[in-house]
Amino acid sequence: MKDFSASTALIVEDSTVQREHVAGLLRQIGFGTVLAANDGINALRMLERHGAPVDLVLTDMDMPGMDGVELIQQLAKRQGAANLIATSANQPRLQEAARSVPAGSAMRLLATISKPVRLEALNTLLHETPMLALAELDRADATQGADLAEIEAALEAGQFVPFYAPRVALDSGRLLGVAVKGRWRHPTRGLLDIDSILAALAGNCALAGSILLALVNQAASDLRGWQEMGLSSIKLFLPLTGELVANLGELGRLVSGIQAQNVKPASVTWEISEELIAVCEAEPLHNIGRVSLRGFGIGAIHCGRYEAGTRDFACFPLSEITIDPMFIHEAAQRSHRRPLLEGLLAMAGKLGVSACADGIENVEDWVLMRDMGCSAGQGPLVGEPMATGDFVSWYKDSRQLLRNYAGTRLSDAAPPAEGAA
Check pLDDT > 50 for residue 417. no
φ, ψ for residue 391, nearest 5 deg? -65, -45
pLDDT tens, 51-77?
889 999 999 998 887 888 889 988 988
Average pLDDT over residues 18-25: 95
Check pLDDT > 50 for residue 254. yes
> Which own/partner contact pairs does 227-236 have at CB distance under 8 Å and 24+ positions apart?
227/267, 229/392, 231/175, 231/395, 233/176, 234/175, 234/176, 234/177, 234/178, 234/267, 235/176, 235/177, 235/178, 235/267, 235/268, 235/269, 235/297, 236/177, 236/178, 236/180, 236/263, 236/267, 236/268, 236/269
Q: What is the pTM of this model?
A: 0.81
Q: Give the per-residue pLDDT at 15.
A: 93
More confident residue, 329 or 236: 236
What is the DSSP track for 256-280?
HHHHHTT--GGGEEEEEEHHHHHH-
Q: Give the per-residue pLDDT at 420.
A: 42
Average pLDDT, the chain: 89
Whether the CA torsion 162, 317, 48, 115 is positive or negative: it is negative
Q: Report yes or no: 19 and 36 within 8 Å, Cβ to Cβ.
A: yes
Cα diameter, the chain: 71
Check pLDDT > 70 for residue 418. no
Rounded CA-CA distance 176/354 in Å is 12
Could you tell me which residues are beta bridge partners of residue 58? 11, 85
Check pLDDT > 50 for residue 143. no
Rounded CA-CA distance 62/42 in Å is 15
What structural domains does the chain harbor? 8-136 (3.40.50.2300), 148-407 (3.20.20.450)
Rounded CA-CA distance 333/418 in Å is 7
Q: What is the dihedral of CA 295, 324, 155, 270, to 10 degrees?
A: 0
Q: Give the per-residue pLDDT at 141.
A: 45
pLDDT tens, 366-391?
999 999 999 999 999 999 999 998 99
Rounded CA-CA distance 356/302 in Å is 11
Buried residues in 378-405 as b, exposed as e (16+ CB within 10 A): bbebbbebbebeebeebbeebeeebeeb
Q: Give the per-residue pLDDT at 177.
A: 96
Check pLDDT > 60 for residue 85. yes
Q: Residue 346 — very low, low, confident or very high, per pLDDT cuts 50/70/90?
A: very high
| Cis-peptide, bond into residue 116, ω within 30° of zero | yes
Neighbours of 242 (CB within 10 A): 16
Rounded CA-CA distance 211/255 in Å is 14
What is the DSSP track for 307-328?
---HHHHHHS--SEEEE-HHHH
Q: Residue 414 — very low, low, confident or very high, per pLDDT cuts 50/70/90?
A: low
Q: Give the per-residue pLDDT at 286.
A: 94
Q: Residue 223: which of 257, 174, 185 has the closest Cα?
A: 257
pLDDT tens, 278-317?
988 899 999 999 999 999 999 999 999 888 889 999 999 9
- All residues at 6 or more sequence positions from 181 whose CB lies less than 8 Å from its CB, including other chains: 162, 163, 164, 165, 193, 385
Task: For the chain, give the percent of residues with pLDDT over 70.
Answer: 95
Q: How many CA atoms lie within 13 A of 130 on its CB side?
A: 2
Rounded CA-CA distance 327/175 in Å is 23
Rounded CA-CA distance 290/348 in Å is 22
